[in-house]
Structure 1
């Protein structure tokens, strides 16, 4: 027997798979299809880390199993290669982003191939390829045509380090998600996508999808649907201030109002305001903070009262003061709130600091002791027409009252805001619009797509916040497609999210030059059957791509209203110290090193065996070595295989049980218990003097999705026909997986005290006899009267004593 030389074996089979195109998906529309998908990676200069193989291997297991079940499987891979990281690296190292991208992709692809993943490389895509982003631009133009893309002057999140505008979702903990730099507010004219038009559908259509619950919850929370009222508070300046509230029943407890520092009233009524300088100074200070910093719950409340203008509570006609405070944002609601300090924690903290009135209107809090109550239950007090009503009754009555008086209207509101779609950077898709003095913004004709990125001498961001493209007069100056007059190209580029919002569609038909994918291909391949990705993308990419897909469905160019039928997420692999892997912590594990020393199959096996797939787990070098030892033991099985095609009597039940358990566990992301089952089966093999050909073949097929190289090599060494990848997934006999005997829990007064082993069809009399000779049971039953015995065959036996 030759040694198990993993490097030679793995390279050999990777070359064979490439040569034979073993994993190619064919447009044979007569076969049942299966489309598993993993998020295509951003090819960074660091290459893969050991976290990448975990989700890729998981769905690789599913893909390989499906092929053996007779499906035409599309398991594709590509590159999400536009965006800030590459551009920042290029700027730092004085290398063109296109060169950096090419180098990074080459490294990533080599690493992925070394893992033996069964991707169909014939469908590889790259978001920076003009043949690809032609269709990204085409989709944008369709959004523009339908009024869902528009330009707006607004305060944006501005990264002071990257010198680029960021979407709210790209600001994490008050800093830039990418570089950790400080984020401030900056006024800028930005392209926006009207995702809010789809808010209701993005929530409601989740009901039909097989998404894990925490993903659905994150989607719903981010969209933030609420039902309430918009209420008008008139002011002594003659204006109305409109607020949105989900609790109109508490309006009698509104003792002051708070406006965003950016509220237009400060400009519009400057002549009536007595302390304008103080208000403007506070506004300037607020603009230097991110939305996160401004709304952080545990921060100290700050604000300035507007002197010279007061508001009037529409419920009781009492005048109340108006303040500005940075915890109110113009981008949420109306930029104004009615403050009810007795029943809102932030309002209460603000009122206590500035000694403002606190009036309890929902009974339950001890206001005298300054304990606010945040409650949606209780009885209304100090509320005139609402006194004595419960909260729900009060909401209905005050809503009707304010509506009838013309002081407000019922309203559904969302926290979701339109998508900021501009980036003042070079490395992104050019926006295919021109600005004409006569015609305004005009789309390029489809025949002129793709609008490609021009070569630039400097791709560094400008200090004034404009794109590097803004300095390229020859590229900017053009003619209007509509009137033929002089016009200027848009110099902003699209964000990284653009190319990743539809890439799954291009995999269906990647070489089509006439459309992003033919309807014939889409009708066959879509929707994606199973999509796995990180939890960090469930409020960004997942939401954006669902929005784009719904839009494409609405204009009739895709066949389904949702792109993904199933969505799961994986936990991170942490360092051995249980901290997130990073260079600064010195705990990064390079998968190349593991493959070199132990093999790709060992790495795949380890990452699937390491623990619950959906939870984060620490890396363990010792466990890696244990997985390699498991493969070494499998390698030696070749010495003791007979020619018998069936299962031996001794192992027959174990084989059928293993097929059932492994098959079900692969489908339910329980890879660790599937592998444990195969380890137990290997132990059963080792107890025999020999195993049959049938047993060996089944074992190799079951293990193949996890460890494809060693299983293909053993299949060939033993002289079996074709490859493991060509085999049919084994079936089990239900009659052979039912245990003749089981272990049953014995309870005494509802608490488990012991277990007994008995036949699965044993009677209560048999269970009684076994239980009442068990010392652990006798400790709780001796000297006591048995008043009842509850026996459920095959499940449980409960003894009730007094």
Structure 2
């Protein structure tokens, strides 16, 4: 019979659905296992092979766990708010809700096509009011606890999307979504105080099973630094406070730099001799993103604030003050003390503007090169610090500053508060009203969800307001506190809002009394294994950890961390090793592969393509090779002989394969697990195959290629379904080789190798060595004076000539 993958795959997808094979049970007595993948944005382009790689990997894990006796939660949903759908709706004059519904239907058909074992009874959609009711509820709780606030500040403004972006959404000075230039603009924004959790977000990483590069990215983004805040007096009468990680270098501070947005720039404008030059520079800086401003390689620019100078607190000398765009208002205090003798950027700036450069840590000629990362050495040109080591000098100067009221020890973070509002339509309404009398007032929880109004026009406004602002009937309301006239907030939440807690809703998606019941959360959390892209390490992963910790603090969730284990996958590249893109014409459509070769071939190849954590190029030839492998499995299944014992010649290979496939799946070495299965099929083809042999192969192969395994399982008379069988066990003794190759040395030099029984003693090894033709020639006429034997590894013969 021909391997008819089209008929087989549809048949078993229907059977799994009818039997509800993959539904998880809350509170089941079996051990629970929560396997999670990042839920997708349902774009009109549908599923691509980049999605299929992590989805298939976690499906393999979930299927194996069920076979191991776990109650597995493996859910799926839709991260459906956001700019792409809104932009499509604007361009095509279709309501975003309609676009979203159509995209989800197409996306889900593709997921079903590939036979993923999702529990569809728990499907969620971030645009469903019954879902975003609880997103709004969480926001109200954040507001109640002082973690959501409104502030006027410089923000990243996308010139095309016409909305505010978080720092993490700006990549190489352009919008992550549309690729348009991003400028700086001052706006009043809703903010979330993620900085309150900075230290906990750092500390708790230590207890998590995250791959190291994920932990490193999180630590770098949070950016903890220890040092001191120092007050510099100014000739304007104000104190200019700076944060520095190197207070020991204070004697080398020869000028100061403020961010162009610093409040003193405006405050001192009437004093300045060059106000026009300062104003023009501030405007230029406002058109740049944070990334562009802080890029190390760029030329240093700036303007001196003529007529205002600072006073170095340890030398008493007046020093100039500049504004420069390489200093950000959002980091530290928005001002720095510049020590050009020991900082690359300060040195470059000083050389350009002819400023003094003083060496304060011994090390060389500071007029010729900058001294960076000087963490050790002795202090010079530093008054009472002279001769001290750097570490001691840091402590001494900090004490000196504190005693004189000139500063304090300080821990600082690079992490900034989360810019949370967007001036767009397609997002969760922020459940706040603005009352002229009461200020910002939360709507009552009983009024949730605050449903997104239906608008005719979704175009962003040139004024920077959301399109919702034009809907006066919706905007105008009464204040929940005083009953007077008030207006609803018209900004919406960012796409990251709904994805910051979605994993919790999966545990109890129909609950209308809470985001999930305490019992469901107690049973399922934390997520046992979460796989996602490295591009979300400093966005979604950080945000969701913050929300989860807040919910833990207010008693909603039982764990302080949402995910116990986090792994990431590499990209799938085009055939020539380039990134897939429409412009290159190298995009692989999963539907085409499934139609030509079947879903099991697609799944198998996606897992066989290479190291899961690394990028790998697509290969049409290798896809065909996976199809040929499945054809061989089919043919073996049809010819399997009756018998409930392993074929003796294959038994050792079967036990070794059970062990390797199981271990490699856990290590996400899917490619080598599949290679082991291919090797076992070769053994079966050589030695013959019984139904017992075949059924073990099918269970091991089932997580990768479930449809063909179900069909063959049924053909071979297996009970139940392959996906519900117990994962096979192996006998460790039968995984060992019966014979082993050992090295034979003469006088410590390798001369040959011989095969001996595993565990053989010295006498057997010596006999085998002497029987070797090459060793026989070397020992002729020689006397054996000593034997050195390392069991199963080597034998070394020490010889001397016969007398």
Q: What band does the TM-score fall into relative to the shorter chain?
A: over 0.9
Q: Deviations over 1:27-86 (max 9, x none)?
A: 243221111000000011111111111101111011111111111111000000000111
Equivalent position SS for 2:240: strand
Distance in 2, matches of 1:262 and 1:218, equals 28
Q: Deviations over 1:649-677 (max 9, x none)?
A: 21111111111111111111011111010
How far apart are residue 113 of structure 1 and its match? 0.4
Query: Is the 1:712–1:724 contact (alpha carbons within 8 Å) kept by the matching residues of 2?
Result: yes
Query: Is the 1:234–1:241 contact (alpha carbons within 8 Å) kept by the matching residues of 2?
Result: yes
Aligned pairs (5 A) from 1:414-563:
414-563=413-562
Aligned residue in 2 for 1:739: 737
> For the structure 1 residues 686 and 315, does the alpha-carbon distance in structure 2 shift closer, same or farther, using more than 3 Å as the test?
same
Distance in 2, matches of 1:562 and 1:796, equals 50
Aligned pairs (5 A) from 1:645-794:
645-688=644-687, 690-743=688-741, 757-763=755-761, 793-794=791-792
Distance in 2, matches of 1:748 and 1:196, equals 67
Aligned pairs (5 A) from 1:4-43:
4-43=3-42
Distance in 2, matches of 1:185 and 1:746, equals 72
Q: Which moved more, 1:361-370 or 1:491-500?
A: 361-370
Equivalent position SS for 1:270: coil
Aligned residue in 2 for 1:189: 188
Q: Deviations over 1:132-182 (max 9, x none)?
A: 000000010010111110000111100001101000000000100000001
> For the structure 1 residues 554 and 28, does the alpha-carbon distance in structure 2 shift closer, same or farther, using more than 3 Å as the test?
closer
Distance in 1, matches of 2:573 and 2:774, equals 42
Distance in 2, matches of 1:283 and 1:789, equals 83
> For the structure 1 residues 753 and 197, does the alpha-carbon distance in structure 2 shift closer, same or farther, using more than 3 Å as the test?
farther
Distance in 2, matches of 1:640 and 1:19, equals 30
Distance in 2, matches of 1:140 and 1:345, equals 42
> For the structure 1 residues 420 and 724, does the alpha-carbon distance in structure 2 shift closer, same or farther, using more than 3 Å as the test?
same
Equivalent position SS for 1:271: coil
Distance in 2, matches of 1:504 and 1:37, equals 8
How far apart are residue 757 of structure 1 and its match? 4.3
How far apart are residue 794 of structure 1 and its match? 4.3
Aligned residue in 2 for 1:217: 216
Distance in 1, matches of 2:311 and 2:434, equals 45
Query: Is the 2:27–2:520 contact (alpha carbons within 8 Å) kept by the matching residues of 1?
Result: no
Q: Which moved more, 1:98-107 or 1:375-384?
A: 375-384
Distance in 1, matches of 2:554 and 2:57, equals 35
Q: Does 1:376 align with 2:375?
A: yes
Distance in 2, matches of 1:280 and 1:326, equals 13
How far apart are residue 115 of structure 1 and its match? 0.5
Aligned residue in 2 for 1:295: 294
> For the structure 1 residues 771 and 187, does the alpha-carbon distance in structure 2 shift closer, same or farther, using more than 3 Å as the test?
farther
How far apart are residue 754 of structure 1 and its match? 7.9
Gaps of 5+ in 2: none
Distance in 2, matches of 1:751 and 1:466, equals 81
> For the structure 1 residues 471 and 333, does the alpha-carbon distance in structure 2 shift closer, same or farther, using more than 3 Å as the test?
same
> For the structure 1 residues 265 and 790, does the alpha-carbon distance in structure 2 shift closer, same or farther, using more than 3 Å as the test?
farther
Distance in 2, matches of 1:771 and 1:160, equals 79
How far apart are residue 538 of structure 1 and its match? 0.8
Aligned pairs (5 A) from 1:353-368:
353-368=352-367
Query: Is the 2:344–2:370 contact (alpha carbons within 8 Å) kept by the matching residues of 1?
Result: no
Aligned pairs (5 A) from 1:191-340:
191-340=190-339
Q: Deviations over 1:308-331 (max 9, x none)?
A: 111111121121111111000001
Distance in 1, matches of 2:701 and 2:29, equals 29
> For the structure 1 residues 371 and 155, does the alpha-carbon distance in structure 2 shift closer, same or farther, using more than 3 Å as the test?
closer
How far apart are residue 769 of structure 1 and its match? 7.9
Distance in 2, matches of 1:477 and 1:510, equals 33
Aligned residue in 2 for 1:405: 404
Query: Is the 2:343–2:370 contact (alpha carbons within 8 Å) kept by the matching residues of 1?
Result: no
> For the structure 1 residues 781 and 49, does the alpha-carbon distance in structure 2 shift closer, same or farther, using more than 3 Å as the test?
farther
Q: Deviations over 1:409-461 (max 9, x none)?
A: 00011000110000000000000111111211111111111000111110110
Query: Is the 1:254–1:313 contact (alpha carbons within 8 Å) kept by the matching residues of 2?
Result: yes
Distance in 1, matches of 2:545 and 2:797, equals 54
Q: Deviations over 1:624-673 (max 9, x none)?
A: 00000000110101233222112122111111111111111111101111
TM-score of the pair, normalised by structure 2:
0.95
Equivalent position SS for 1:261: coil
Q: Which moved more, 1:541-550 or 1:749-758?
A: 749-758
Distance in 1, matches of 2:761 and 2:149, equals 74
> For the structure 1 residues 762 and 347, does the alpha-carbon distance in structure 2 shift closer, same or farther, using more than 3 Å as the test?
farther
How far apart are residue 746 of structure 1 and its match? 8.0
Equivalent position SS for 2:149: strand
How far apart are residue 771 of structure 1 and its match? 7.8
Following TM superposition, the consecutive aligned residue runs of length 4 or more in structure 1 with deviations greater than 6 angstroms are 745-755, 764-778, 786-791, 796-801
Query: Is the 1:345–1:374 contact (alpha carbons within 8 Å) kept by the matching residues of 2?
Result: no
TM-score of the pair, normalised by structure 1:
0.96
Equivalent position SS for 1:567: strand
Q: Deviations over 1:525-544 (max 9, x none)?
A: 11110000000001110000
How far apart are residue 15 of structure 1 and its match? 1.0
Q: Deviations over 1:730-777 (max 9, x none)?
A: 111112112233345789999999866444424567768878999999
Distance in 2, matches of 1:347 and 1:322, equals 13
Q: Which moved more, 1:791-800 or 1:534-543?
A: 791-800
Query: Is the 1:365–1:373 contact (alpha carbons within 8 Å) kept by the matching residues of 2?
Result: no
Q: Does 1:143 align with 2:146?
A: no
How far apart are residue 692 of structure 1 and its match? 1.6
How far apart are residue 193 of structure 1 and its match? 0.5
Query: Is the 2:340–2:370 contact (alpha carbons within 8 Å) kept by the matching residues of 1?
Result: no
Equivalent position SS for 2:233: strand
Equivalent position SS for 2:523: helix
Equivalent position SS for 2:396: helix
Query: Is the 2:478–2:486 contact (alpha carbons within 8 Å) kept by the matching residues of 1?
Result: yes
The two structures, once aligned, show a CA RMSD in angstroms of: 2.6
Aligned residue-pair number: 798
Q: Deviations over 1:8-28 (max 9, x none)?
A: 111111111111111111224
